[in-house]
Chains A and B, each alone.
With several copies, the nearest count.
Chain A
C-alpha cells in the first residue's frame, strides 16, 4: 500500500507551522490547504497577486477577476490583500514567504529539481517555479516516487532541464517522507504499509537509511 495524492497532501500538511505564509503549486500541493490544522495561523500566497487566499467559491459566486496562480476561480479570507506581480515576487524573492510546496518531475540527491520542461515534448514554461525555488528557505516537493514507467524520480542527477539547484530540503512521495542532507536522500518516514526495501528499490539516488524508520501517521 502506498499513499494517494490526498495522503501525500495530508503528510505535507503536518509540516506547516503557525505563522507560515505558504505558496502552493498546482496539483498535489493545492490539496495541502484542505488538511492543515484549522487552529494554525497560516496564510496562502498566490503569486498572481493575492495573499489570504480562501477556498473555491460556491457556484454563482465566481469572479473572473479573482483567480489563483492555477487560473482557478477562488475566494479571499478576511485580512486578504491584492497586489501586482512585481510585489508578489518581492514577497517570494525577498524570502517573506515561509514555505513553498511544489510538484516535481525529478529531484536529485543534492537538492536539484526539474519540473518545468521536457525538451521537444512539454514546454509549458516555468511560471513562478524558478523564482520560488531560487529564494525559498523551506521547500517541500510533493510527487510520486516513480514515474509512469516505474522509474525513480529521486535521482543521482536530474536528466531533465533544471528548475533550480541545491534548493530542495524535503520530499513527500507516495512511498516516503525524505530530507535532503549532505550525502543524499535521508529516509525519515515510510508511508503506511510501505517497506524500507520498497523505498530502496524505488530510489535511484543515494538513499540514507539510519536505524528504525517509523511509519507516517496520516489522519
Chain B
C-alpha cells in the first residue's frame, strides 16, 4: 500500500503558487473541496487559472477567490449564480473561457486517461467552434478538443482511505471523479478518512493511483444553493 496521507490542508496544497492552473471539482456548491478553497484564500495565491464547472456563489465556493481577485481566468461551463463573477467578466477584469459541460468533463477525463485529443459534435457551428479544427465523421461535423493541462487537481470525496481510494456520495461525484489524476498532482479532501482495507474494492469510484495527497477536511458546511421542497 502506498500511503497518500498528508497531515492537513496546508501540506496538501504545498507547491501551489501564483499563475498556476488548478482544476477544482464540484457542480454548483455540491461536492466542492471546501477546505482547500479556504486554504487557497489564506495562501493568497494570485493570477490563477481555474478549471471548474461553476464559479461558486458570491460568498462561498470559488466566489471567495473571485472576491479577492485571485483568479485571472475561469474555464467553466456555467457561471450564472455569481454576480461578482458576471461583473468582473463584463468589465473585462476576468478572462473567461466558457465551454460546453460535456466537453469540459471529457477534457478532464482525457487528461486523466492520456488521450491528447478527441472529437465531439458539441459546439460545432457556434462561437465555441471558432478557430478550432473540425472534421466530418459519419456525416456529422465534430470539433477536435484537447486534454486539459493543469498543475494541481483539487477534488472532494465522501470517504477515502490512506491509499487514496475514493468513494463519492450521490451527485457529489460529478467533476470530482473526472478530475482525479488529470493534473500533475491531485489532492483529495474527504469527509471521512478511513483505514486502508475498510472500503470494498468493488465500491471504490476512484482508485488511489490517481491521487497523490489525501486528508480529512476539518469541517464541511455543505451549503445548499437552491433548497427546493415539495408541500407535504
Contact = CB atoms under 8 A, between A and B. Distances in A.
B126 A96 contact: no
B28 A78 contact: no
Contact of A80 (B86, B158, B201, B223): B201
What size tier do the contact residues of chain B reach?
A: 35 or more
A43 to B, nearest CB: 6
Interface in A62-105: 62-74, 76-97
A82 B201 contact: yes
A131 interface: yes
Interface in A104-139: 112, 117, 120-121, 123-131, 134-135
Given A67-B225, A80-B201, A124-B79, A131 B209 contact: no
Nearest to A47: B101
Nearest to B220: A64
B177 A123 contact: no
B189 interface: no
A1 interface: no
B2 A42 contact: yes
For the residues of B in contact with A, the DSSP-based class is loop
Contacts of B109: 86, 90
A78 B196 contact: yes
Contact of B113 (A68, A84, A90): A90
Contacts of B101: 47, 85, 89, 126-128, 130-131
Interface string A4-40: 0000000000000011110000000000000000000
B201 A76 contact: yes
Nearest to A133: B122
Which of A57, A78, A80, A84 counts the most B-chain CB atoms under 10 A from its CB? Answer: A84
A52 B170 CA distance: 12
A82 B173 contact: yes
A57 B78 contact: no
Contacts of A117: 98
Given A79-B162, A82-B170, A123-B98, 6 more contacts: A49-B27, A59-B232, A64-B223, A65-B169, A85-B177, A120-B90
Interface of A: 18-21, 41-43, 45-52, 55-59, 61-74, 76-97, 112, 117, 120-121, 123-131, 134-135, 161-166
Interface of B: 1-3, 27-31, 53, 76-81, 86, 89-90, 96, 98-106, 108-109, 111-115, 120-128, 158, 161-163, 165, 168-178, 181, 196-197, 201-202, 204-205, 207-210, 222-230, 232
